[in-house]
């Protein structure tokens, strides 16, 4: 199956009442771990890359890694998504690389500027059949070059924003946070806000900053020389409540980073004579697989890969131009 548009993925998730994990990728081992989980769970998957990941992989390497993943897993529906695009130029680069979905993040801008930027991206991306995720409201925390103070999404603004921009999915701020150091105590998310926004905008919602930062991942890192302390992530039951109210895409990045870091630290501590990167990166790949597999089960996407029929970007171009 060729890469599919985000719209198709989220529409199927809507029919099935589940959420689809969106997992950030920077290298081959991450991607292999993600795809192993998707294959075993028979789950659709969203593979996403940030601007930093594109730079890290010199752009073209990531493109071909994903092509290899699709070729190796022909029965798995895969979306290739740009995470936190900051400009039309970044979006153009991603589309040229074959991305089937892009996010334009104007959440840090005043409302009217966010509307204008998002509309510009929607008009451009839809010409190529590419889906667009936008964001309204801001999350706390820091991850890569994403930083900000919490500003919850306003339902009135969300309704107006979606009508004026025509975006396909909307990332909302309900109290989640970027990075490993999310919260000093277990967070309380504004779950009722999800339902209100969903009822108003009537398009799939996206949850950013949704890593759970499991204690066992932090403990493994710390046991082998790390220093991850005083952090709580987003509890899985809270994410499941959000899915029940209209969230269909759930971004997970910190958890897989922590899983890889812990696995590499443990391997090198226990086998200090290791000089073959394949050994410790193989352990990291397996750690990613375990995290992604558990999220696919928790989000409800496991078992749904067979629901998808091929839908090309050409099909989406025709749909957007109706």
- What pLDDT score does 182 carry? 45
pLDDT of residue 142: 45
Task: Encode pLDDT of 111-163 as tens digits.
Answer: 999 999 999 999 999 999 999 999 998 875 544 454 456 689 999 999 999 99
pLDDT, tens only, 151-209? 899 999 999 999 999 999 999 998 876 554 444 556 678 899 999 999 999 999 999 98
- Higher pLDDT, residue 82 or 210: 82
* pLDDT for 186: 63
- Of 101, 95, 103, 35, the closest CA to residue 65 belongs to 35
pLDDT of 184:
55
Q: What is the per-residue DSSP string for 108-131?
A: TS-HHHHHHHHHHHHHHHHTTT-E
Q: Which two tokens stand for residue 25?
A: 């990728």
Q: What is the residue-averaged pLDDT of the chain?
A: 92
Cα-based distances in Å from 65 to 68, 69, 70, 125, 306: 5, 6, 9, 23, 23
Is position 118 within any domain?
yes
Cβ contacts of 281 within 8 Å, gap of 6 or more: 29, 264
**Domain of residue 36, residue span:** 6-209+235-253+301-320
Whether the Cβ atoms of residue 72 and residue 42 lie closer than 8 Å to each other: no
Task: Flag whether 268 is in a domain.
Answer: no
Enter the pTM of the model.
0.93
Percent of the chain with pLDDT over 90: 80
pLDDT, tens digit (0-9, with 9 covering 90-100), for 247-291: 999 999 999 999 999 999 999 999 999 999 999 999 999 999 999
Catalytic-role residue among 72, 75, 83, 168: 83
Phi, psi for residue 9 in degrees, rounded to 5: -60, -45
Residue 254 pLDDT = 92
pLDDT on residue 151:
83
Give mean pLDDT, residues 53-61: 93
- 72-79 average pLDDT score: 97
290 in any annotated domain: no
Say how many domains are in the chain.
1
Residue 221 covered by a domain: no
194 lies in some domain? yes
Residue 292 lies in a domain: no
pLDDT in the model for residue 16? 97
CATH number of the domain where residue 57 is located: 3.20.20.70
Residue 265 included in any domain: no
The answer to whether position 305 is within a domain reads yes
* Predicted pLDDT at 181: 45
> What is the reported pLDDT for 209?
84
83 given a catalytic annotation: yes
């Amino acid at each position: 199956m060729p890469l599919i548009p985000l719209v198709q993925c989220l529409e199927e998730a809507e029919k099935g009442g589940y959420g689809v994990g969106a997992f950030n990728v920077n290298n081959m081992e991450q991607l292999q771990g993600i795809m192993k989980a998707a294959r075993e769970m028979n789950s659709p998957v969203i593979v996403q890359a940030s601007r930093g990941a594109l730079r890290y992989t010199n752009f073209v390497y990531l493109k071909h890694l994903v092509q290899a993943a699709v070729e190796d897993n022909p029965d798995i529906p895969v979306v290739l998504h740009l995470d936190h695009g900051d400009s039309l130029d970044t979006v153009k680069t991603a589309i040229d690389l074959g991305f089937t979905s892009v996010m334009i993040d104007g959440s840090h801008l005043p409302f009217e500027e966010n509307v204008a930027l998002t509309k510009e991206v929607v008009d451009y991306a839809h010409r190529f059949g590419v889906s667009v995720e936008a964001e309204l409201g801001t999350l706390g925390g820091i991850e890569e070059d994403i930083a900000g103070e919490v500003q919850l999404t306003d339902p009135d603004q969300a309704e107006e924003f979606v009508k004026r921009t025509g975006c396909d999915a909307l990332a909302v701020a309900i109290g989640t946070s970027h990075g490993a150091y999310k919260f000093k105590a277990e967070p309380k998310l504004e779950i009722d806000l999800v339902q209100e926004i969903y009822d108003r905008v009537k398009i799939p919602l996206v949850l950013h900053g949704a890593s759970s930062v499991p204690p066992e991942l932090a403990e493994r890192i710390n046991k082998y020389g790390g220093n991850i302390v005083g952090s709580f992530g987003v509890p899985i039951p809270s994410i499941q409540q959000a899915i029940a109210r209209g969230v269909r895409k759930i971004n997970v990045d910190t958890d897989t980073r922590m899983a890889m870091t812990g696995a590499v630290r443990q391997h090198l501590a226990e086998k200090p004579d290791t000089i073959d990167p394949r050994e410790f990166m193989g352990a990291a790949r397996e750690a990613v697989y375990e995290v992604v597999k558990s999220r696919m089960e928790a989000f409800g996407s496991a078992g749904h890969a067979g629901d998808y029929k091929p839908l090309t970007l050409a099909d989406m171009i025709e749909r957007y131009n109706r």
